[in-house]
Structure 1
């Protein structure tokens, strides 16, 4: 569900942001906010120092599956030390990447920066840290805006990945003179585009925008932005993943999607609801995978920051992972589910949630486990998911 928007000049956008800083979430869906941490943990976006140390030890001892996952990452184009970043002042992204003016370049440069940051931490080879800095500096020197209908989603995908790279480099490497310019880029170019979320588009948009907001908030140590991301996350989770305890129909996201008929239409016409069903299940599993991935990334970052959201959403996440893994593995869908026809393609998105719920919390997740093991090593979707077997397989930290 895409829409064309009229863009505001950057200064006006910032004014508008300030004017809406206390805006509430959609009517009927507002839930309590949770205070941001008094002291932020760094590095602390998706991966912590303890997690990174665990990974480094496993790779350097040639333990599996981490060594295989590391070799996969290092053999990818994202780990090439000859990579030349391709920054643009204005990245223009239309529906289904038409037009695509810098969209792929931006997303993949962000993944490359994150890849280099991971490579630096594991190898301690300065060349990788310096290459990550080169890529991040190239973009922070140039970019001023994102435009066209996919601007919010594009900003969210790149804005989810940049802070992961930046957190590792900033807090484990010395010698990043332009770090403050990079922080200004995140605050002025990315945060205004994602902080208010997106109520009425398909829910993977809002979750991706939440993920970017939270990661940027951690890097900037912006407690207000952090709180807003968590509030929107809580609202979206119950409007995206169904549980029988929600009632006969899922919660609506608001924004004019409130009645049972409006909600069923929003859920792609699906009128039978079971635990773990997603608002986008009957659209396709690929977009559903984006939503699951962002949800687990947000929960993982919040846990690192000392505010563990997993217990609050354990049932929604475990059922969502289990249901979609079951059908991704080949179980034939019943006729009541999406008319008996599913569009598969979940992607490499199960590792973070599986590690959190199964390995750390001890919850049995047979279908998710089977799919996760079958997909190892999980690579990248070339959008915002990358190398999660490496970073989160059986990671106790």
Structure 2
């Protein structure tokens, strides 16, 4: 049976709309206040006559006719909702006039940052079009076809102008995916929608995998505004997919819940030490952002959606999201996602094709590529590979090195920690490489270290967003000695990490057709002299490895976060490389002694339900495998308690401005 896309389908259903209208008609808070915000907007009025458009061309960076387009897209959303809530058809008529005016006039959306506006305003123009299409008798099937053509021919290409999987970093790429996903839903375009779902779940520089175990997203150390932008885009996409019966909220141990909790926690100014993380734009070693970001809104739309998804639907706890929502004022968008309960269902997509790795102790082949003057060698002993190689460099167009490799078919990955390399030349490097053939000049990607402990990355003859400036650069000068390459389909991603689990995707390229089934994956050393460079690698793992390396005791988890739930303390920690289980310790005193309350935990999260509200508990986590148990993670604490509830109630006042405190308006601060 062919799949059918549901309408309206971008975050609210017909049932949701009916419940919203009933709450507004009954004057219930906070829906009353949210509707008031909507109705008071200049873009919601029957007198709205546009901002001079529509225009044939709109552009962002450079900006051209942009504000007119933005204003009209907001008006399409506002007027469509006003029609539904008031049943005054004049609102719908104006919304249709605006939407079809742009759809029949606008032929070009250009500029370097077109995808940003399309993602920012997708909920407006797609959401408004969905309401008109499904609820207003004056909307005709011919109108739907006109809008579909506008989306397909003008807006969708502008949401992804750089080619297949070529998206800007973090929030920029997330905005692209959101725009494409929402428009695909309107257009009944299942092929594009499936591709967006796949990309959102596999592309590690923009989607759900652009995150770590504790919930940091790629832009979280950039600034809190962009951090929220990335969180909001991914959440908006997840919510739209939920209305189509697709549950990506559950991916990666409820990763969007972790991302929302982390964002809410740091902006509630709860002491939180950040881990190094980043994007293809930049790898950040510390958090110097504006924590405490936002005013009265403070991210209410995404946090409201996340609260509904995880707390109401899934029965999980989101203490910091709930806390932050208490301090927000409802606005003309977020009220659309306020629910008292939610019994809707969705199904997780099929398991992802993310390649696994295992240690390798033998089976590498060797090649001296590109005129390396001395034959290199590779030997393994006691968990470490010693690779000696010459070659005249691998930076940019240079391709001269010693390469020890396996030929791997299909999806694959390699991980290594660069322990040391000789300073034979300032440009000497040691790292990991993937290449489509062993011939000099073949398309390839590598991530490597130099003697200054800088991470260098390079992609040659691969399609890379941003071109050579993104593909080839020094990524980090911090304590980052772990490097990784991963191939999924025709995409190769380069990563850096301080510990072998907290991987930040810093380089992404696409193998240009024809895409080979088999590529060559391994360790690379280049001395940039006529001498051999002796380099040492540990923790080498590769897809199809033999698993024969000796186990070593894992490091303690780098970070642990505890949250103050109701009768529970949810815990998340950053996984430890090589760990097979974790032991959670708890104390009522900072510094211990700690009682083991759970052992053999196989993931990187646990919820302690044996707690008493009002008591502060202190937690640590230790990692273990067959070699032994690590020391303890850094401690974190939480005091569980019943959450406060935001309510607007009746009352009276007889003194000045105090009356506003009891005006039944939940927007009042």
**Structure 2 counterpart SS, 1:91:** strand
Choose the corresponding residue for 1:75, options 40, 45, 66. 40
Contact 1:197 1:206 in 2 (8 A): no
Contact 2:167 2:176 in 1 (8 A): no
1:62 aligns with 2:54: no
Q: Which has the higher contact order (CA 8 A, sep 6+)?
A: 1
Mark the CA change 1:239 to 1:308 in structure 2 (over 3 Å): closer, same or farther: closer
CA distance in 1, matches of 2:191, 2:286: 43
Deviations for 1:120-168, whole angstroms, at most 9, x for unmatched residues?
1122111211121121022112111112211222233334432111111
CA shift for structure 1 position 332: 4.4
Mark the CA change 1:110 to 1:323 in structure 2 (over 3 Å): closer, same or farther: same
Contact 1:378 1:388 in 2 (8 A): yes
**Structure 1 counterpart SS, 2:59:** strand
- Correspondence for 1:209: 176
- Correspondence for 2:324: 371
- Correspondence for 1:298: 237
1:93 aligns with 2:46: no
CA shift for structure 1 position 69: 0.7
**Structure 2 counterpart SS, 1:339:** coil
CA distance in 2, matches of 1:37, 1:314: 30
- Correspondence for 2:84: 121
- Correspondence for 1:110: 73
- Correspondence for 1:341: 288
**Structure 1 counterpart SS, 2:220:** coil
Task: Show the 5 A alignment for 1:1-80.
Answer: 38-80=3-45
- Correspondence for 2:128: 165
Mark the CA change 1:133 to 1:367 in structure 2 (over 3 Å): closer, same or farther: same
Contact 1:37 1:223 in 2 (8 A): no
CA shift for structure 1 position 112: 1.6
**Structure 1 counterpart SS, 2:105:** coil
Contact 1:44 1:304 in 2 (8 A): yes
Deviations for 1:86-112, whole angstroms, at most 9, x for unmatched residues?
322111111xxxx43222322232122
More divergent stretch after superposition (346-355 vs 122-131): 346-355
CA shift for structure 1 position 340: 4.8
CA shift for structure 1 position 395: 5.2
Give me the TM-score of the superposition, normalised by structure 2.
0.45
Choose the corresponding residue for 1:240, options 201, 210, 230. 210
1:176 aligns with 2:139: yes
CA distance in 2, matches of 1:150, 1:334: 33
Deviations for 1:69-90, whole angstroms, at most 9, x for unmatched residues?
1111111122122112232211
- Correspondence for 2:224: 285
- Correspondence for 1:323: 262
Give me the TM-score of the superposition, normalised by structure 1.
0.75
- Correspondence for 1:359: 312
List alignment gaps of at least 5 residues for structure 1. 1-35, 244-274, 380-386
**Structure 1 counterpart SS, 2:175:** helix
- Correspondence for 1:221: 188
Larger radius of gyration: 2
Contact 1:106 1:158 in 2 (8 A): no
Contact 1:46 1:297 in 2 (8 A): yes
**Structure 1 counterpart SS, 2:209:** helix
**Structure 2 counterpart SS, 1:146:** strand
CA shift for structure 1 position 335: 7.2
Contact 2:37 2:331 in 1 (8 A): no
Contact 1:186 1:216 in 2 (8 A): yes
Contact 1:116 1:131 in 2 (8 A): yes
Superposition CA RMSD, Å: 2.2
Between Structure 1 and Structure 2, the one with more helix by share is 1
Deviations for 1:167-206, whole angstroms, at most 9, x for unmatched residues?
1101111223533222210110012223556645221122
Mark the CA change 1:120 to 1:58 in structure 2 (over 3 Å): closer, same or farther: same
**Structure 1 counterpart SS, 2:109:** strand
- Correspondence for 1:30: none
**Structure 2 counterpart SS, 1:69:** helix
CA distance in 1, matches of 2:68, 2:164: 24
**Structure 2 counterpart SS, 1:130:** helix
CA distance in 1, matches of 2:249, 2:286: 32
